[in-house]
Amino acid sequence: MQEREEARRSLSDVIEDYLQKALDKVDDGVLEIQRNDLSQQFGCSPSQINYVLETRFSTERGYMIESRRGGGGYVRISQVRCHSTHELIQQVLDEIDEMVSQARALRIIQRLQDAQFLTPRETKLIEAAIHRKTLKVNLPLRDHLRARVLKSMLLASLYE
């Protein structure tokens, strides 16, 4: 049964789960992997590994990636840990520039839900408020507006 479930999942999901489980096992929150070894293990190209790292282990989701290419190259994934809710929100607010794309904003919101700062309901409300269909103005104004709305909502939720 589990094999059939895994076959239906995308390769990116499988690689993400593998890396997340490996990260959970390390005490210091830092995982070093060989990109080529990982791509051979999953039968994919190194660019597939890069895709997973860029989309699933981004700074918006609470990770830092260091990479060194070449024969002895490696990828180091570090989980950014916050000691308090205030520190987490401050870190997230610092990441939101004057403009933020919808995709990036959604990753930030997901990180806050994963950290249990936002409930699923709050997540849906914020997602609705910053969605391109709600902010029906042209770019780049929409990304400016989205950043302001997101920052404002996060600050309001900090001081409830």
Q: Which residues face 64 on adjacent strands?
A: 78
Q: Do 6 and 30 sit in the same domain of this protein?
A: yes
Given 23, 52, 79, the domain boundary residue is: 79
- Cβ atoms of 75 and 87 closer than 8 Å: no
Reported pTM: 0.62
Given 25, 51, 79, the domain boundary residue is: 79
Q: Do 103 and 72 sit in the same domain of this protein?
A: no
Q: Which residues face 79 on adjacent strands?
A: 63
Question: Where on the phi/psi map is residue 132: left (φ > 0), alpha (ψ -120 to 50), or beta?
Answer: alpha
Q: Do 91 and 146 sit in the same domain of this protein?
A: yes
Q: Do 65 and 113 sit in the same domain of this protein?
A: no
DSSP state of 134: T
Enclosing domain of residue 95: 85-158
- Cβ atoms of 65 and 76 closer than 8 Å: yes
Total count of domains within the chain = 2
- Could you list the pLDDT tens digit for every one of the 160 residues in the chain? 445 444 446 889 999 999 989 988 888 878 888 888 888 999 998 888 888 988 888 777 778 888 877 665 678 888 777 667 777 787 788 888 899 999 989 988 988 888 888 899 999 999 999 999 999 999 999 999 999 999 999 888 777 6
Q: Do 72 and 120 sit in the same domain of this protein?
A: no
